[in-house]
Amino acid sequence: MRQNHEIDYQIYGSEMQYVEIELDPGETAISEPGSFMMMDDGIQLETMFGDGSRQGSGLLDKLFSAGRRVLAGENLFMTAYTNVGYGKRRVSFASPYPGKIVPMDLQRLNNQLICQKDAFLCAAKGVSIGIEFQKRLGTGLFGGEGFIMERLEGDGMAFVHACGHVVRKELAPGELVKIDVGCIVAFTAGVDYDIQFVGGIKNTLFGGQGMFYATLRGPGHVWIQTLPISRLAHRILTYGSTNTREEGSILGGLGDLISGNQY
């Protein structure tokens, strides 16, 4: 028997996805502020400290739960959506950028998942959203996510979002995969996470992938995104700050019109 609320869901869309969660009477889903898309009448919204997994505890426990979320880079508050009606009700949450929403059944993942700090989207009530400290100094300093990552615990459904396409790899015991540090979405608790120096002056200066990449050693499961949001943001910023009038310089104003640079 699950301790967390048991919810049904359906994911819609391709590049800009949203997840629709179906709630039976009395069931609750929790989400990050700002991820809400739409809901049926009969669902009650409540803003709360932390993730609600310690709702029956005292004030100090609630403050501790909320404080963990701040350290993990998330909001101090979360939003709970409870079906207070008599029939089934639906609430939907949207991904904040192009990519995929990945459903995670924590009961099938040994009740724990480690993910990047901004990956969490929503979950069934009872799922705990905490922090995961990287114990190795080098991993914390150069691992891309710093010393703190996000830890999801419980036996319910949780949903994380990633940028681009998502690849899931199952690592056998001792099997090693090397990944760009920004491409890690999540991995199960049994996976050993470390970083490794790329090596070579030319590789470091001109290789384009930075000085380090992540190493993940099995056993366990790893989810990898093809386009880190930081890389996408950098490309957009570079494109927006570059003067592209030279592209149409031979044709003058006609060239600007063709290239879309009329301003």
pLDDT tens, residue by residue, 42-51: 999 998 876 6
Q: How do 43-49 and 77-83 pair as beta strands?
A: antiparallel
Q: Residue 176: is its pLDDT beyond 90?
A: yes
Q: Are 161 and 94 in contact (CB under 8 A)?
A: no
**Which class in CATH covers the domain with range 8-164?**
alpha beta
Which of the pair, 263 or 215, is modelled with greater confidence? 215
Q: Residue 139: is its pLDDT beyond 50?
A: no
Q: Residue 8: is its pLDDT beyond 80?
A: yes
For residues 225 and 97, give the distance between their C-alpha atoms in angstroms, rounded to a whole number: 13
List the beta bridge partners of residue 78. Answer: 48
For residues 177 and 172, give the distance between their C-alpha atoms in angstroms, rounded to a whole number: 11
For residues 145 and 229, give the distance between their C-alpha atoms in angstroms, rounded to a whole number: 13
Confidence of residue 255 (pLDDT cuts 50, 70, 90): very low
Residue 202's CB is within 10 A of a number of other CB atoms, namely 7
Q: According to the model, what pLDDT value does residue 249 have?
A: 46
The verdict on pTM exceeding 0.75 is yes
* Boundaries of every domain in the chain: 8-164
Average pLDDT, integer, range 33-55: 83
